[in-house]
Amino acid sequence: MCCGRMPTTRWPSLPAGFKLENGMVIVPAIEVAVVDKKADAKKITELEVKEEKAVNRCIFGTKRKFPSRQVLEDRRSRHMLMNFMRRGSVQQFSEAWNGYRKPPSEQKYSEDVGHIHQGLNFEPTREELNSLAKACSRLWELDMNRIVPGKDYRIDCGEGKKVYQKGDMASESLFSWLGDDVLRKPTYSHFCALLDNYNPHQDKHEEIAFVEEIARTSPIKYLHRYLVQKGVVPQDYEDFKRMLASLWFDLYGRGGNSSCSTAFEHVFVGEIKGRGQGESEVSGFHNWIQFYLEEAKGNVDYQGYIFPRRRGESPDLEIQLLTVQFEWHGVLKSVSNTLIGVSPEFEVALYTL
């Protein structure tokens, strides 16, 4: 969904020599499609699928594909944008970044980050650079801001169902309760500020504040060192933060519309879009915090979990990867993979990786 009016100028602007035509970023001697699902889908190799299964098996002990296919498509779109940004000069983003960035006196950041992360090594090993599964496992270990099932929250999975089955199989909400202090955590708080009536045209200050906060955490620091070793981001951490903000919050065209959505909006906030014949569908919406908040507002109707492919496996109170079905504003999301309890910085790092 897109709301608000278009700004008079884009942030950040395209580098000199680049232009936008019909949803395509035209680069001198190079043509990069911002979104081309059909062409992009062909790039799913057997190796990618094996690596995704390995990630899930390594972290969660199950062979289900992780994350969802839609999330994989969005990750590839963001990688395309990252490759485009590498061809331009990061310096051209500095002026726009500093214009939206609030002065230190107006920002509130956590005070204990330095103490928590003291002595940690964020350099990826050779094995992690060669294996996405090992890199994701390292990210999981570095997510010290993740909340604990039974201590910080409780879920009620209800009854399971097949994807094609109709009807509500859950008599209760997915979240039974959430600890009072959870959403007061610094990165959680900045994340929630973005979710509240998210408008990609107007929320630049909140976007920068969120990036500044998560950039102080272990998962993002590891992400930076990992991508530096891969040669896709600059060594300078300030330049990297600007690039991360552009990657997640730049507007791009989707479904024939020009500059109406962001990667953040799709993956974390969710979108409702038409699919013809007067029908609508929920796109994205893979974040547990957004699910909790929308469920608390009465906008989400949890309808049960999707049966795992392997028999004998059922979710319990401590599961942290859950495939669910729900309605959002009366529109059905038949399948959605959600990581329960992980921190915002972990998900940003994971999907950027």
HEC-encoded secondary structure of 49-100: HHHHHHHHHHHHCCCCCCCCHHHHHHHHHHHHHHHHHHHCCHHHHHHHHHHH
Please tell me whether residue 283 adopts helix, strand or coil conformation.
Answer: strand
- Residue 333 and residue 282 in contact, taking contact as beta carbons nearer than 8 Å: yes
Confidence of residue 26 (pLDDT cuts 50, 70, 90): very low
**CA-CA distance, 353 to 345, in Å (whole number)?**
12
pLDDT of residue 205: 85
Average pLDDT, the chain: 72
Domain ranges of the chain: 19-352
- Amino acid at position 184, single letter: R
Please tell me whether residue 226 adopts helix, strand or coil conformation.
Answer: helix
For 191, counting Cβ atoms within 10 Å of its Cβ (0-12 exposed, 13-18 middle, 19+ buried), the class is: buried
Confidence of residue 13 (pLDDT cuts 50, 70, 90): very low
Residue of 166 and 338 predicted with greater confidence: 338
Is the pTM higher than 0.85? The answer reads: no
Confidence of residue 25 (pLDDT cuts 50, 70, 90): very low
Q: If you average pLDDT over each of 166-180, 267-281, 305-319, which comes out highest? A: 166-180
pLDDT of residue 136: 92
For the cut 50, the answer to whether the pLDDT of residue 119 exceeds it is: yes
Please list, in sequence order, all residues whose beta carbon lies within 8 angstroms of the beta carbon of residue 208, skipping any fewer than 6 positions away: 97, 100, 101, 102, 245
Per annotation, catalytic residue among 161, 221, 266, 273: 266
Q: What does the pLDDT average to over 257-286?
A: 80
For the cut 70, the answer to whether the pLDDT of residue 293 exceeds it is: yes
Q: Report CA torsion sign: 194, 197, 201, 204.
A: negative
**Tens-digit pLDDT profile for residues 133-148:** 999 999 999 999 999 9
pLDDT of residue 256: 54
Residue corresponding to tokens 């990786």: 353
pLDDT of residue 140: 92
For the cut 60, the answer to whether the pLDDT of residue 280 exceeds it is: yes
For the cut 70, the answer to whether the pLDDT of residue 269 exceeds it is: yes
**Tens-digit pLDDT profile for residues 80-100:** 444 434 434 344 444 444 444
pLDDT of residue 289: 94
**Tens-digit pLDDT profile for residues 301-313:** 999 888 876 554 5
Q: How far is CA 336 from the centre of its chain?
A: 13
pLDDT of residue 51: 46
- Residue 205 and residue 103 in contact, taking contact as beta carbons nearer than 8 Å: no
* Active-site residue flag, 266: yes
